[in-house]
Amino acid sequence: MEKANEWAVAKYTGWGITARNEQWGQWRGWERGISHIDMVYPRTKSLESTQLAWSPGMGDKTVTAELVILPDLEDSLAFQKWLPAVKGKFVMVSMLQPTGRPDYNWQEFATPASFEKMKKDRTAQQEAWTNRIKKTGYTNKTLPVALEKAGAAGVVGSNWSAGFGVDKIFGAYTKKIPTIDIALEDYGLLYRLTESGDKPKISVHTESKERGVVPTFNTIAEIKGSEKPDEYVILSAHFDSWDGGTGATDNGTGTLTMMEAMRILHLVYPHPKRTILVGHWGSEEEGLNGSRAFVEDHPEIVSKVQAVFNQDNGTGRVVNLSGQGFLNSYDYLGRWLAKVPSNIRDSIQTHFPGTPGGGGSDFASFIAVGAPAFSLSSLNWSYGTYTWHTNRDTYDKIVFDDLRNNAILVATLAYMASEDPATSSREKACCPSISGQASPPNGPNKQNPSVKADLTNYHPKTKGPERGLYYSTIS
């Protein structure tokens, strides 16, 4: 994040655009190191595997040990009795998937009967596995910690993302032992060998660095308004990402779209009426923290927002735009869209006044305080399965023609919003309730920027640069 923030400021500065890094809080600094994970018995095979974010480093240690599968026991008492059996072993905490083929592949090639049978069996298996974990008396979050306390060598999961060779890579809950993800194909191999008594062994070496509590930033760049400098058009895309891949489509592509729009605007529209500001938010993935903090720290900006345009669902062309429950959004968004080149505009479905987004990305931080904020929603390009928070969210998935389309769209909307003689109405649409009385639609509640990811060692602070999550004593 540090390097990205510095890079973005340097890039904008090089283009002649004023930019700064604004500290919004602090967070647990962690640096990913190498993950080397191999099966060493009964035969040798390098495994497709990586440590989860915030997994504790092992220094120069390599641990070679057998595996044990989380057993299906009667209740938490039985589990406590069994727990010492994990000592010195890697514990497998994910179920064995019945297939590594995505459903679309089954749909195409399986007989309808066998597809149905697979789905039915899988659902039953998933329910049984959920129940297996529940009966331990722990949750997915607390179980790894219990295993660690009982002396396990490490926690091994497989968070399949329902596509060929693709896993979601999130954060670890262990404090001392590594938590790793092994891809379905290799996890399945180990699972079957363990189940059939072949006692496979894996060798695990992961490195990472704890950096303690570090300041965390939003990168902000601005083209100052010439007539109404204290009114704002805000371009918005989060800058952080999960790190199983490189975050290319979540949210490298949103970032590139907004940066390119700023570059274009600075070249062809250097003296906008209103100030055009871009926010590259930190810590979106941990609960929209950077944007929420910005909203809290800058009431003077947020109260004078003409429009916020946020993009955060992959590399595709923007195809959906909702009025987010703003009653008059049709008027102004309609006016602005009318000037977008038709080959870009014609594929966008609009919904007016729409309903306010309750979260999901940074526009919700603005809607929560009544600012007209909109999500530029993209064509999916298998985003949910293949790139969102996965080990496959990498550069090769970017579709640059679509980004070009989006940069033109954003630059045009920003230009139109800046030029509009009228100030955007913030009036919200009201929905008749059952009793016939009007009530506002449900919107996101304003929340303090703090905790979505439950990093159990951290406590929220709510104000100033101290805000964020910081260390307490590890218990």
Q: Give min distance, CB of 242 to Zn ion, in A.
A: 9
Q: Closest Cα to residue 251, out of 406, 447, 369, 365?
A: 406
- 289 sits near Zn ion (criterion: CB under 5 A): no
Nearer to Zn ion, 243 or 250 (CB): 250
- 362 sits near Zn ion (criterion: CB under 5 A): no
Q: How far apart are CA 334 and CA 321, in angstroms?
A: 11
Nearer to Zn ion, 191 or 242 (CB): 242
Nearer to Zn ion, 186 or 312 (CB): 312
- 186 sits near Zn ion (criterion: CB under 5 A): no
Q: Please state, as a whole number, how many other Cβ atoms lie within 10 Å of the Cβ of residue 441.
A: 14
Strands, E assignment, 70-112: 90-92
Q: How far apart are CA 104 and CA 385, in angstroms?
A: 11
Residues in 217-276 that interact with Zn ion by CB under 5 A: 250-251
> Do the beta carbons of residue 206 and residue 181 sit within 8 Å?
no
Nearer to Zn ion, 136 or 251 (CB): 251
> Do the beta carbons of residue 248 and residue 402 sit within 8 Å?
no
Q: Which three-class secondary structure state does DSSP give residue 329?
A: helix
Q: Give min distance, CB of 390 to Zn ion, in A.
A: 12
Which amino acid would we find at residue 412? T
Q: Which residues make beta-bridge pairs with 377?
A: 320
Q: Looking at 148, 312, 362, 393, which residue binds Zn ion (CB under 5 A)? A: 312
Q: Give min distance, CB of 312 to Zn ion, in A.
A: 4
Q: Give min distance, CB of 412 to Zn ion, in A.
A: 23
Nearer to Zn ion, 167 or 250 (CB): 250
Nearer to Zn ion, 166 or 416 (CB): 166
Nearer to Zn ion, 157 or 290 (CB): 290
Q: How far apart are CA 206 and CA 111, in angstroms?
A: 43
How many residues interact with Zn ion (rule CB under 5 A)? 3
Q: Give min distance, CB of 257 to Zn ion, in A.
A: 13
> Do the beta carbons of residue 278 and residue 234 sit within 8 Å?
yes
Q: Give min distance, CB of 49 to Zn ion, in A.
A: 24
Note the maximum CA span of the chain.
76
> Do the beta carbons of residue 222 and residue 247 sit within 8 Å?
no
Residues in 441-460 that interact with Zn ion by CB under 5 A: none
Name the residues that contact Zn ion, by CB under 5 A: 250-251, 312
